[in-house]
Amino acid sequence: MEINGVYIEDTFAEAFPIWVSRVLITAATKRLAKIAATEATGFGCSVIMCPAEAGIEKYVPPTKTPDGRPGFIIEICHPKKSELEKQLLERLGQCVLTAPTTAVFDAMGEDAEEHVKVGFKLKFFGDGYEKKDKLGDRTVYRIPIMGGEFIVEDKFGIKKGVAGGNFFIMADSNMTALVAAEAAVNAIRSVEKVITPFPGGIVASGSKVGASNPKYKFMTATTNHKMCPTLRDVVEDSEVPEDVNGVYEIVIDGVDEESVKKAMKVGILAATTVKGVKKITAGNYGGKLGKYQIKLRELFE
């Protein structure tokens, strides 16, 4: 199969279940809301070593937020439900409560399968001076701070989502692959309920489980040597074609499988419009990592 002249490999992206929260952060200005959202999602690339996977999903205008102020929806993900609640407490408490003029609301809504009492637990920062209140149909706590009040919703919805949706962009040069990757990420931003958790949404250093070198067996993950253009003539199992000199990966987490599939589709379509892109493939472990096998070609049938 080819799309815009780019070969789509007959393979699948292997994704796995993960607990997901969807949180709305608002502030007095769009800039302040973006700063808080960025801080709250920091160090959130991969649960291989990060405490959670996290990212900014989208901007929300004042007309669509509970308090009539600009905001950003973020997603925080973790394989363990208890750890997700811990990450919500730490990230919202340390990175958002401390940020000027912010408020935090649940954004999972009716998609929620369970709820965690994050706002209820954060209220204790108020040292007994906090107040329980209603904002529309939402139960919130008003915590007095030097900058006025920090408003946080009582409970946050969580659900089992999908992590690790992915595809690889292979191009004639590193710069071409990078331009295509940025085009893919920009297109994915139009899809709700997904994030691309790596820096700028782009993975430069794809990894594999463990290590090939027997001296490095202590490593949980090491460089994906099969996809490194500089190792094409060094390793016997290289998967980099002769006409490819740049490879980038896009990783997608989301609230459900359909959202991840939609994001993969629009991302691949955008990447294939860039001249010099040669091939789109995906990463999997033969079905050993996760139960979701998202077949690239089926996305376009």
User: Of the candidates 6, 2, 15, which has an alpha carbon nearest to the alpha carbon of residue 289?
Assistant: 15
Percent of the chain whose predicted confidence (pLDDT) is above 70: 100
Q: Where are the domains of the chain?
A: 2-14+160-300, 20-159
What distances in angstroms separate CA 270 from CA 143, 194, 197, 260, 266, one per listed residue?
45, 17, 19, 15, 6
pLDDT tens digits, one per residue of 241-270: 999 999 999 999 999 999 999 999 999 999
Q: Decide yes or no: CATH 3.30.70.520 for domain 2-14+160-300.
A: yes
What pTM did the predictor assign? 0.95
User: Of the candidates 97, 115, 74, 94, which has an alpha carbon nearest to the alpha carbon of residue 151?
Assistant: 97
Q: Rg (Cα) of the chain, in Å, rounded? A: 21
How far, in Å, CA of 10 to CA of 20, rounded? 29
CB of 33 closer than 8 Å to CB of 26: yes
pLDDT in tens, the chain (301 residues): 999 999 999 999 999 999 999 999 999 999 999 999 999 999 999 999 999 999 999 999 999 999 999 999 999 999 999 999 999 999 999 999 999 999 999 999 999 999 999 999 999 999 999 999 999 999 999 999 999 999 999 999 999 999 999 999 999 999 999 999 999 999 999 999 999 999 999 999 999 989 999 999 999 999 999 999 999 999 999 999 999 999 999 999 999 999 999 999 999 999 999 999 999 999 988 777 778 999 999 999 9
Does 20-159 match 2-14+160-300 at the fold level?
yes
Q: Decide yes or no: CATH 3.30.70.520 for domain 20-159.
A: yes
